[in-house]
Structure 1
């Protein structure tokens, strides 16, 4: 993925990473099973619910991953609900540390030879301001592998954190002159003064804008609306993702995904890693 659709360059950070961290055996093992061609449109929704968070998605070539976080006693825990919180499942242990190890092993990239950032979509579930402030503190420790915004300029790294969820996080983020994360906008942010250097991604609930779910013909008016939204975002250098989309295997989902590809959607949301991989590879995506 690129931070915007108009720029593809990524900062080479291998030299800066040299010697900073030992490579865990699990990261080495992931590399030893081959190098899947990265899928630039594949987004792993609620990635942490898979048996091997991060690693399963990377083994299928995904270039965008989603993790929900809660701030608990000063630590960022990954879970979908408070009832599922586990103090051993931290953002650092499940994502940041293994990503750093992998970037080091792959000479500056999440996928060896792939010179685009992989997106880490971090969904803040509660307490947006305090949660983001702690996240910002933690991200600074991994800044050598991260895309960043510094005094008006974007610098690309191997991983681009994008902050979603609790909208309150926007306040401290917009005030920063230096940050290691970007903001996940909504459809209301299309055409506003917020630049792609702050909002590189526009996400929305599909069912709030469209009725079609893959069965029957895609209504012409809805198809035109989808294409117009994507075109408008791309004109502003932003990417587009919808959640709450059909994800049950079958003809309806295939028809739905086919329409998303035709509209040049940037991220296709799924919990079915193998299913989306097969779909995209069969179509040369």
Structure 2
């Protein structure tokens, strides 16, 4: 005799309670429903991990970075042209899995409502690549996922797409409706702080070594610490988030010291290729 779906669901719930059926576990044995998302965790070159996107999600990351190239009308993911492989598209590696997650989690990437950033680093021609990306984001299959700008206002949704690399700023600024935003540069005074517009530039990023000499060895120079805090203060006053790349990422005391300084300064996104290392650090410093 066939059992109804309701009866089957009830039996599974009872078996779970008595320990005969286990719920799916994520990294380090954490239950998926109890995983605490990490607001500062950014997966640099996320696509280089064995399971792009999924490895970062298993650690609770809330920001991932994908480099894209426009090749024969497709957006292929990889750092350099020689790294590109047919089938490894932005759609396959990121958009489709995110769509499935958001549908499963009732409108959010994680079971609990958490902001999530997809940082898309354009490696090929800015305008033609963005035109292809814009068309993809607007597809009815995906458009409901993304934060959007329309009629002077931003509507936040499950995923916010921010463009880095070759960014067609003028094209973005001229659009009356768009599903992508601009990653500004900290050294550009028009991008950072109260003179900028977070509706276009919600994120400002820069190369750490372009702005600071300290790489975690010895004391953090007082002047550089003050400069870091001022950058964060100016960005936050304008409603912007802050990220640095080229920070030390080799396990050891220097990396730990620098990560600690970034957290203390309230930097929004900490860049890493070591997913478990940063996740462990952030959970230990809560």
Fold equivalence (TM over 0.5): yes
Give secondary structure in 2 for the equivalent of 1:265.
coil
Asked whether the equivalents of residues 30 and 55 of structure 1 are also in contact (C-alpha less than 8 Å), the reply is no
**Structure 1 residue 119 corresponds to structure 2 residue 117:** yes
- Equivalents in 2 of 1:192, 1:143: separation in Å? 30
Equivalence for 2:72: 73
**Structure 1 residue 266 corresponds to structure 2 residue 234:** no
Pair member with larger Rg: 2
Structural mapping, 1:1-285, within 5 Å: 34-35=32-33, 36-114=35-113, 116-141=114-139, 142-167=142-167, 169-187=168-186, 188=188, 189-191=191-193, 193-284=195-286
Equivalence for 2:7: none
Runs ≥4 residues deviating over 4 A: 28-33
Asked whether the equivalents of residues 116 and 160 of structure 2 are also in contact (C-alpha less than 8 Å), the reply is yes
Q: CA RMSD in A?
A: 1.5
Give secondary structure in 1 for the equivalent of 2:198.
coil
Question: For structure 1, which runs of at least 5 residues remain unmatched after alignment?
Answer: 1-27
Q: Whose RCO is larger (CA < 8 A, sep 6+)?
A: 1
Give secondary structure in 2 for the equivalent of 1:42.
strand
TM superposition score normalised by structure 2: 0.87
Asked whether the equivalents of residues 194 and 234 of structure 2 are also in contact (C-alpha less than 8 Å), the reply is no
Please give the per-residue CA displacement for 1:118-140, whole angstroms capped at 9, x wherever unaligned: 00000001200000011000001
Count residues in correspondence: 255
